[in-house]
């Protein structure tokens, strides 16, 4: 039998961590996963998947993620049921997370959060002023740093790490994987 679920999406709220009577941590969260097609209005809809993660992974997940974080998860689908306080049988389907990956850097998460809070018009993936180029230079060999500070009348533009900026790119056949 195969029961595997692999999802990529954004958290709809901060993970909620609780502890069992035996001291095991358990975190629950909901993951918004975009559908691959659009509706009749041309908008992309999303599915909201309930997830649960256990023990040390639950604590780590809760420490490093929050509402809006882009994450990838891997686990299995589980169904369970219980009787609520009104005596009704409640059925729950959720993904029990076994592995997860943080799919954006902390600076991207903080920038997106600050952009949302400040109601900025900048693109969500635009680097903040003075942020470091992750490639160390501007695609050339001169080691010059890149400044992405927006002027007062133009929004910040994302850095293209593959732009040559007029300089030739030296690639030998030994660099190619095939």
* Other CB atoms within 10 A of residue 12 CB: 14
Half-sphere exposure of 175 (CA within 13 A, CB side): 4
How high is the pLDDT of residue 116? 64
How high is the pLDDT of residue 107? 76
Contact 112, 126 (CB under 8 A): no
- Residue whose tokens read 């029990």: 96
How high is the pLDDT of residue 168? 60
Q: Burial, 37: exposed, middle or buried (Cβ in 10 Å; 0-12, 13-18, 19+)?
A: exposed
Tokens of 157: 């533009």
Contact 134, 105 (CB under 8 A): no
Query: Strand, helix or coil at 175?
Result: helix
How high is the pLDDT of residue 104? 84
Residues with pLDDT less than 70, the chain: 113, 116-178
Integer angstrom CA distances of residue 39 from 35, 36, 47, 56, 94: 10, 10, 13, 40, 25
Find residue 25's DSSP bridge partners: 19
Domains and CATH numbers, the chain: 5-102 (2.40.50.140), 107-149 (no CATH)
Alpha helices in 19-133 (DSSP H): 55-64, 106-118
What is the distance of C-alpha 82 from the center of its chain?
32
Q: Quote the pTM value.
A: 0.61
What is the distance of C-alpha 171 from the center of its chain?
33
Tokens of 158: 């994302």
How high is the pLDDT of residue 133? 38
């Amino acid at each position: 039998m195969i029961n595997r679920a692999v999802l990529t999406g954004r958290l709809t709220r901060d993970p909620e961590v609780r502890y069992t009577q035996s001291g095991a941590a358990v975190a629950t969260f909901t993951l918004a996963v975009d559908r691959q097609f659009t509706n009749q209005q041309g908008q992309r809809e999303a599915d909201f998947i309930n997830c649960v993660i256990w023990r040390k992974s639950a604590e780590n997940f809760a420490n490093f993620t929050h509402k809006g974080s882009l994450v990838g998860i891997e686990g299995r689908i589980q169904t369970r049921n219980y009787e609520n306080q009104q005596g009704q049988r409640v059925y729950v389907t959720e993904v029990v997370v076994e592995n997860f990956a943080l799919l954006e850097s902390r600076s991207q998460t903080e920038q997106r959060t600050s952009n949302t809070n400040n109601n900025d018009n900048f693109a969500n993936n635009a680097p903040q002023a003075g942020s470091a180029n992750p490639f160390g230079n501007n695609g050339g060999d001169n080691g010059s740093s890149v400044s992405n500070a927006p002027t007062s009348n133009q929004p910040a533009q994302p850095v293209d790490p593959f732009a040559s900026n007029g300089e030739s790119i030296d690639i030998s056949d030994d660099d190619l994987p095939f």
